[in-house]
Chains A and B, each alone.
Chain A
Amino acid sequence: MMGGNVNLKTNFVDGLKKFTKKWEFVLLLILLAEFAIFGAANFEKFFRITSIFSSITNFISICIISLFVTFVMITGGIDIQASSIVGLTSIVIGVLWSDAGLNIWTAVLLAIVTAGICGALSGFFVAYCGVQPMVVTLGGSFLFSGLALLISGLSKTPAYQGISGFPGKNELGEFISFRALGKMLVFDLIPIQIIIYVALIVITYLMLHKSRYGRRVFLVGVNRQAAEYSGINSRWIIMSTYILTGIGAAIAGVLLTANVDSAKYNLGSTFTLSIITAVVLGGTLSTGGKGSITGTALAAIIICILRYGLPLCFGISNQNLDLPIGIMLVVVVALRAYFAQGKRPVFRRKEKDCAVPK
Chain B
Amino acid sequence: MRMLKSILKVRWLSSLAFLAVMFIITGLINPDFFTYSNIIECFNSSVVFTLLAVGVAFVIMTGEIDVSIGSTMGLAAAIAGMLAQRGESWALMIVYSIIIGLLIGLVNGYGVAVLGVPSLIFTLGTTGIVRGLVYVFSGGKTTENFAGSFTNFGSQTLFGQITIYYTIVLVIVIITHLLLTQTRSGKYFIAVGDNVGGATLIGIPVTATKIVAYVLCGIFAAISGVAFASKYGQVNIVAGAGYEMSAIAACVLGGISLSGGLGNIAGAAIGAVIMSTISRLLVFIGLSSDFDNTIKGVMLITIVVVDALMQRRSAEAARRERLVARASGSAR
Using a CB–CB cutoff of 8 Å, the interface residues on chain A facing chain B are 78, 80, 125, 129-132, 134-136, 138-147, 149-150, 153, 159, 270, 273, 276-277, 280, 286-287, 317, 319-327, 329-330, 333-334, 336-338, 341, 347, 350-351, 353, 358
What sequence of 0s and 1s flags, for each residue 104-142 of chain B, a beta carbon within 8 Å of any chain A beta carbon?
A: 000000010001111011101111111111011000100
Interface of A is mostly: helix
Contact of A143 among B67, B136, B288, B298 (CB under 8 A): B298
What sequence of 0s and 1s flags, for each residue 81-117 of chain B, a beta carbon within 8 Å of any chain A beta carbon?
A: 0000000000000000000000000000001000111
- Count of B residues near A, CB < 8 Å? 54
Q: Which residue of B lies closest to A81 (CB)?
A: B297
Using a CB–CB cutoff of 8 Å, the interface residues on chain B facing chain A are 65, 67, 111, 115-118, 120-122, 124-133, 135-136, 140, 195-197, 237, 241, 245, 248-249, 252, 258-259, 288, 290-301, 304-305, 307-309, 312, 315
- A130–B291 touching, CB < 8 Å: no
**Known contacts A78-B120, A150-B294, A319-B237: A136-B301 contact under CB 8 Å:** yes
Contacts A/B (CB < 8 Å), 27 sampled: A78-B120, A130-B312, A131-B305, A134-B258, A135-B300, A138-B252, A138-B300, A139-B301, A142-B245, A142-B249, A142-B297, A142-B300, A143-B296, A146-B290, A273-B128, A280-B121, A319-B135, A320-B135, A326-B129, A329-B124, A330-B111, A333-B121, A333-B125, A334-B122, A347-B197, A350-B197, A351-B197
- B290–A273 touching, CB < 8 Å: no
* Bound-state Cα–Cα, A322 to B74, Å: 14
- B125–A330 touching, CB < 8 Å: yes
- A150–B290 touching, CB < 8 Å: yes
- A286–B249 touching, CB < 8 Å: no
List, in ascending order, chain A residues with CB within 8 A of B122's CB.
330, 333-334
List, in ascending order, chain B residues with CB within 8 A of A341's CB.
115-116
**Known contacts A140-B301, A143-B301: A324-B132 contact under CB 8 Å:** yes
Whole-angstrom distance between the Cβ of A32 and the nearest chain B Cβ:
22
- A146–B291 touching, CB < 8 Å: yes
Q: Which residue of B lies closest to A130 (CB)?
A: B308
* Bound-state Cα–Cα, A78 to B65, Å: 13
